[in-house]
């Protein structure tokens, strides 16, 4: 099965559970990521892989317009229903792959993506396509989980993620994101990295599709808890088990300068000790 089909199948089936999962609508995250994108009243925003449209609908009141694209039609149906219910007149949703966005070159001033890059077969292709839709001087901003930077931990968590959600492709490392942003010529690359704690029962529950998958997830969690190194990414939190994940916000500007100093400036990633609820 192709990756796009896996994603469609997974997210069409889990759309309702995804929409009501505590993490999807977390106001703190919506606010922090929208602030990170430095949204302005005249911005034309595009979210690639917008899912149930929480970010799109959240941004609508502070910008000129927001477009959201996602490959899973059930996710888009829920996004549209929420926008209709809130009578948002400046949002538009479309169904389709982010590898081929239905927009002309340079029509958006902010092109963003939240919590989706770990589903893409070819992240570079998606960044190129997002950049095509971004105007000169516009911003490209991505939020996603990133790896721990330890091969053993990363291999274990990738296995766990695929058992939870079969459409998980690969979690990138922070340096892979900064590398991609640099390669495509973005300038002013900056970012924030922090940790988040995912309640495991809710995390597994929002995605897992079958008893077999559930059993595989439980087996992997048991393995992780019984291992000195792997258990370091689990934590008891208010009497419940949480998975600690690293998250990155990364942004850059589509070059509107040929200043050698600006073009040569190194990415600046701040690591926050703070947790995000």
Chain residues in the site for ligand SAM (CB under 6 A): 4, 7, 11, 24, 49-51, 54-55, 70-72, 75, 97-99, 114-116, 119-120
Q: Pairing relation of β-strands 108-114 and 44-48? A: parallel
Stretch (H or E) spanning 224: helix 211-225
Residue closer to ligand SAM, measured from CB, 160 or 187:
160
Using Cβ positions, the residue closest to ligand SAM within the complex turns out to be 51
Residue closer to ligand SAM, measured from CB, 207 or 230:
207
Least separation in angstroms between residue 50's CB and ligand SAM is 5
Question: What's the CA gap between 144 and 141, in Å, rounded?
Answer: 10
**Could you give the angle at which helices 200-207 and 211-225 cross, rounded to 10 degrees?**
150
Residue closer to ligand SAM, measured from CB, 121 or 255:
121
Beta bridge partners of residue 225, listed in sequence order: none
Least separation in angstroms between residue 15's CB and ligand SAM is 8
Least separation in angstroms between residue 16's CB and ligand SAM is 13
Q: What beta strand segments (E) does 132-258 contain?
A: 134-146, 186-199, 234-237, 240-254
Query: How far from chain centre, in Å, is Cα 24?
Result: 10
Question: What's the CA gap between 96 and 73, in Å, rounded?
Answer: 8
Helices (H) and strands (E) in the chain — how many of each?
10, 9
Least separation in angstroms between residue 258's CB and ligand SAM is 33
Residue closer to ligand SAM, measured from CB, 55 or 187:
55
Least separation in angstroms between residue 120's CB and ligand SAM is 6
Residue closer to ligand SAM, measured from CB, 59 or 220:
59
């Amino acid at each position: 099965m192709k990756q796009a089909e896996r994603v469609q199948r997974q997210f069409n089936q889990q759309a309702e559970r995804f929409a009501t999962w505590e993490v999807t609508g977390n106001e703190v995250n919506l606010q922090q990521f929208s602030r990170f994108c430095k949204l302005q009243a005249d911005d034309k925003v595009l979210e690639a892989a917008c899912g149930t449209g929480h970010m799109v609908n959240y941004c609508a009141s502070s910008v000129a317009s927001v477009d959201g694209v996602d490959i899973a039609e059930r996710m888009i149906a829920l996004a549209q229903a929420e926008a209709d219910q809130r009578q948002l007149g400046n949002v538009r949703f479309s169904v389709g792959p982010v590898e081929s966005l239905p927009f002309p070159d340079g029509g958006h001033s902010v092109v963003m993506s939240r919590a989706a890059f770990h589903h893409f077969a070819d992240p570079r292709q998606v960044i190129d396509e997002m950049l095509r839709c971004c105007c000169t001087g516009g911003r490209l901003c991505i939020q996603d989980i990133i790896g721990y930077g330890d091969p053993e931990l990363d291999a274990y968590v990738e296995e766990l993620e695929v058992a939870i959600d079969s459409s998980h492709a690969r979690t990138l490392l922070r340096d892979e994101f900064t590398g991609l942003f640099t390669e495509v010529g973005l300038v002013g690359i900056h970012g924030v990295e922090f940790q988040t704690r995912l309640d495991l029962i809710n995390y597994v529950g929002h995605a897992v599709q079958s008893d077999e998958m559930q059993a595989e997830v439980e087996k992997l969690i048991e393995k992780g808890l019984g291992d000195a190194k792997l258990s370091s990414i689990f934590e008891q939190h208010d009497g419940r088990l949480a998975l600690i994940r690293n998250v990155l916000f990364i942004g850059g500007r589509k070059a509107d300068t040929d200043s050698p100093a600006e073009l040569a400036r190194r990415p600046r990633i701040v690591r926050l000790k703070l947790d995000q609820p």
